[in-house]
Amino acid sequence: MRACPSSARSGAPASALPEPYRAAVYYAPERRDPLWTAGCTWLGADPETGFLLRPQPAVPGIAAATTAPRRYGFHATLKPPMRLRGTFDEFLADTENLARRLTPFEMPRLRVADDFGFLALLAEPSAALDELAAACVTELDTHRLPEDAASQAKRAIGRTASQLRNLARWGYPYVLEEWWFHMTLSDTGAAATLLEPARRHFKNALEKSRYFETMAIYVEPAPGEAFRLAKRLRLTG
C-alpha cells in the first residue's frame, strides 16, 4: 500500500490547526477505554483535553519519575515524531487515507514490565500490530523532513547495524524489525521502584479486552512543548 500525496491537495483543508513543530502517529486507547483514563492518570496529564494535569496516584516519587512520558502523552509509537516536509494538512490527509485502508483487529494482551530500565506497557507478539506499525513508517515517510547531520550523528551513537540502517533510511533506529509495542510509563531508571504500584494501578484496565480501532495524530506545537492529541483516525478497511 502507498498513500497518495496528491490526496491532501484536493478539496478543503483537512484541519484548522496551526503548523506544528513535529507530528507523529501513535496508538492511543479510545477515550471510553479505562486504559486511557488509567494511563493519563498515571502520567499526570491528558493530551486530548489540553494536556491538563490530573492528580496522580499516591506513589512516592511518581511525579519526578514520569517527566518525559508526561510531555509525550500516553501512547505507543507507530510513526515516530518528525518535522514535516510539507504541510500538516497534507500529512493528515494521507494518514486518513491510510487509516481507511486498515482493518481493526483485536489487541493482544498488555502487561506492565521493566523495558530496558523504563516502566512500560508491553504487548504480546502480534503480526497485526507489526504490520500496522510498518505501514505507518513506510507509507508516510514522504512527509518526513530528514534531520541535519549533527542530529543524525547523535542518534547513531551505540546503535547496532540494523538500527543504523533504519536510522539512515527511515530517520529512526527503532522501526520495522527493531520496533516493539510499548507504552512508556516512566523515565529511565525508575522501573524497579514503580513496577508493583503500576501493576496495581493498571490491573483492572488490563483485564479488559480491546480492539485497535483508531490511530492518533499527536503534535508538538513548538520545540520542547507538551505533545497534544490532535485527531483520532478510525480504521475502516
Q: Which domain holds residue 62?
A: 20-125+181-234
**Average pLDDT, integer, range 54-68:** 92
In a domain? residue 213: yes
Write down the pLDDT at residue 13: 42
**Which residue reads 546503535 in cell numbers?**
159
In a domain? residue 212: yes
Split into its structural domains, the chain has a count of 1
Write down the pLDDT at residue 55: 83
Write down the pLDDT at residue 9: 34
Write down the pLDDT at residue 16: 61
**Average pLDDT, integer, range 40-49:** 95
| Sheet with 182-184, side-by-side order of all strands | 110-115, 118-123, 182-184
pLDDT per residue as tens digits for the range 100-136: 999 999 999 999 999 999 999 999 999 999 999 999 9
- CATH code at 113? 3.90.1140
Write down the pLDDT at residue 48: 94
Task: Give just the sign of the alpha carbon dihedral 48, 50, 51, 55.
Answer: negative
Write down the pLDDT at residue 12: 38
Write down the pLDDT at residue 51: 65
Kindly list the distances between the CA atom of residue 16 and the CA atoms of 7, 19, 231, in Å, as whole numbers in the listed order. Answer: 17, 9, 11
On average, the pLDDT of the chain sits at 92
With a pLDDT cut of 90, the percent of the chain lying above it is: 87
pLDDT per residue as tens digits for the range 192-227: 899 999 999 999 999 999 999 999 999 999 999 999
In a domain? residue 204: yes
In a domain? residue 200: yes
In a domain? residue 146: no
b/e sequence 141-175, b meaning 16+ C-beta within 10 Å: bebbeebeeeeeeebeeeeeeebeebbeebbbbbb
Task: Give residue 53's pLDDT band: very low, low, confident or very high (50, 70, 90).
Answer: low
**Average pLDDT, integer, range 131-144:** 98
Q: What is the pTM of this model?
A: 0.90
In a domain? residue 61: yes
Task: Give residue 18's pLDDT band: very low, low, confident or very high (50, 70, 90).
Answer: confident
Task: Give residue 7's pLDDT band: very low, low, confident or very high (50, 70, 90).
Answer: very low
Write down the pLDDT at residue 15: 59
In a domain? residue 202: yes
pLDDT per residue as tens digits for the range 167-177: 999 999 999 99
In a domain? residue 165: no
